Amino acid sequence: MKFTLSWLKEHLETDASLDTVLDTLTRVGLEVEGVDNPAEKLGAFRIAKVLTAAPHPQADKLQVLSVDAGDGPLQVVCGAPNARAGLVGVFGMPGATVPSNGMVLRVAAIRGVESNGMMCSFRELELGEDHDGIIELAADAPVGQVYADWAGLDDPVIDVSITPNRQDCMGVRGIARDLAAAGLGTLKPLAQVYRMESLAPIAGDGAAPDVRTDDPEGCPAFYAQNVSGVTNGAAPKWMADKLKAIGQKPISVLVDITNFVSIDLGRPLHVYDRATLTGPLIARLAKDGEQVLALNGKTYTLDASMTVIADDAAVHDIGGIMGGEHSGVSDTTTDVLIECAYFTPEAIARTGQKLALTSDARQRFERGVDPAFLDDALAIATKLVLDHCGGKPSAITRAGQPPVTSRSVSYDPAYALALAGVDVPKATQKAILESLGFPVTVTGGGTEMRDGMPFDTPEGWSVGVPSWRRDIDGPPDIVEEVVRIHGLDNVPSTPLPRAPGVAKPTATQAQLVERRVRRTAAARGLSEAINWSFISEKEAAAVGGGDWTLANPISEDMKVMRPSLLPGLLSATRRNADRGAASIRLFEVGRRYFADGERATTGIVMAGEKTARDWRSGKAQAFAAHDVKAEVMALLAVAGAPTANLQAFGEASGAYHPGQSGTLRLGPKTILAEYGVLHPAMAKQFGLSGTVVAAELFLDAIPGKRKSGFMRAPYAPPALQAVKRDFAFVVPETLEADALVRAIRGADKKAIVDARLFDVFSGPGVDAGMTSLAVEVTLQPGEKSFTDEELGAISAAVVKAAEKLGGTLRG
């Protein structure tokens, strides 16, 4: 839900600053997702006048302009067809950044002629789609003034995330009501906002529209009013500016009125061109196989469970979701029918899911709009049409009955302390509820005579539920309203009582493993990321595709249950890189989801600089595959994997670079981890540059430990010092070093306790196609030191093991 600060203040009488508004929104439970002020990126763009315009000597389609932006004439090369002497437009100074493409303007020669900046179009400043020429302002626009200040663009756009239960905040007015209740100002009367003497219906003397509802379950109420003799055109500037500021594209005044009311009041409407209608307009169930060409240009096939608006000839509207293209208004429209209907939320949700069709109207109707607001909304829409399009209104048709019922909740003010743990005074609770539109009736709380004796009657409250709050069901919901306006920060943190004695451990073995992995990763310098379990279809396809696709996702970017942790980590890596992070080291402990269940996994991504540039090494050092392998080995060790028995294979998944990646396995089938350099195509898909290394550890594949009792064997260090011997073997370059090390380690399992590769060499002295691998072997004597004969036998066993792999001892 987006709106500008000035738009909010049309409903809220307040002097609060932007920061105060944002803090209060968060405090009352309306999460602020972002704030964008267009003026901040347009500070270097001024109003300028073109003094002269002459042809470019080297290009037919370019002109050389003399431009005054308040500091005297500057020479500018321009290719806009409307550039001419006397034009007043918007000029980007050298050093300014063009919002549309991020280009920094500089003094440069264009086809041999120096140019000092740029005259800009609307698209280049992200103020519209017009790119046919440079902006043309009024001749009296003040030359030299910052354009954003003159145009009134210093108006922050606030983006608020609305939870599904807060249908009342799907309009600017509902958000203003919450802020007023929180003490940030006064909610203006709605009639005052729309400059109406009252919200009474505007009825004319023309014939009422012929409409009815034959589907009371899907469309209980269908109100409509005709306006004849209208002139459709561009919306007034104030309305168009509001819509453009929040990303809506102005279409025509009739369409823009319905969009404006939907966003301003959370009340979707629809306008039909009466010339396209045949017979009465009826809300009914569709017939199986009926089709409609919607306003988005797509044709939808309907079934008998869907509510539609149709006449004798065709379906004109997928009820409450999207209108049809055939009956939409155009520049030639002169007579319109304004529809203000109530659609059942459950029916809207089912239809939208079946058609996979989303719209602003669906978002509001399936959450539930105010059923008592039909007359008022129709009056406001009709007034806007009359004010900006002219015409004469007809009488109003009210078909059906909106589901308006009087609801109340029996409430005890003590519930606030009992349920939420915060003691809010009764007077404060009453004031909060009434400011939110909940009328409070207090009963009891006095003394009355019963059988000649005084009797104290307990106080009770009856709290009325406003028609725009269908989410209120009982006393806990009332407590929630009181507490969120009173302030969640005022709720004390009270620990639960703990039974005496030592608590029994409740964590499972798998949970303990994840804790050790998480702590070890953090201790090794990795930062933990927590991502959504949902990713887009495109991201899932990049890692082999997902088994679970949601039928009704929150958004298209969160449609598939993730089959890999990499997409989320790579997206987080890009966000950090975009914000200037030089070295990124992220890990996540989470779940992957497959047809046969979920699997515990740890993901790692490292990008950017491993070490920063300095006077010794010069250039910064990037991460390599062996860096992420070291992290994998460390985490597998703390997870309980038998790292000494791991085998290295080269068959990593398609997400990795085929020549710079591998897997770690227990046998050929049990894969514990895959790691390596990310595939360039994968990095490009996620907007990453440079070398990116990644890994996934499959914790569920680690074999569990065998139970051997409750006590571990006591630590008994060797009595004698270990002996180390170095061996260098010339082996085929196709031989994996891990295979050689494993073979050497198994040459004498009793005496050899470790083997480690410490040198790789190819060059002079080594035949082509061969490589020299040097291995350090650690020998541990038992009860007595090794004799020369024993050491010789062990060395011979090591050499023999290497020879079996095609290696020879290097001389």
159 is in an annotated binding site: no
Does residue 602 contact residue 699 with C-beta atoms inside 8 Å? Answer: yes
Backbone angles phi, psi at 782, to 5 degrees: -95, -105
290 is in an annotated binding site: no
Q: What are the distances in angstroms from CA 698 to CA 173, 218, 228, 248, 517?
A: 50, 49, 69, 45, 12
Radius of gyration of the chain (CA): 36
Residue 597: partners with Cβ closer than 8 Å, 6 or more residues away: none
CA neighbor of 110 nearest in space, from 49, 58, 60 = 58
The identity of residue 780, as a single letter, is Q
317 is in an annotated binding site: no
In order, the DSSP letters of 401-446 are ------EEEEE-TTHHHHHHS----HHHHHHHHHHTT--EEEE--S
477 is in an annotated binding site: yes
Token readout for 667 is 């046998």
Helices (H), 507-624: 509-523, 537-542, 566-578
Token readout for 190 is 């709605």
Q: Could you give the CA distance from residue 232 to residue 236 in angstroms, rounded to a whole number?
A: 11
Any idea which residue has 């302002």 for tokens? 137
Backbone angles phi, psi at 12, to 5 degrees: -115, 115
Q: Label the pairing between strands 583-594 and 460-465.
A: unpaired
Residue 699: partners with Cβ closer than 8 Å, 6 or more residues away: 510, 513, 514, 517, 600, 601, 602, 639
CA neighbor of 329 nearest in space, from 288, 283, 244, 271 = 271
Q: What are the distances in angstroms from CA 276 to CA 229, 291, 398, 469?
A: 15, 17, 22, 37
Q: How many CB atoms lie within 10 A of CB 108?
A: 12
Binding site residues for Mg(2+), as ranges? 471, 477, 480-481
Binding site residues, as ranges? 471, 477, 480-481
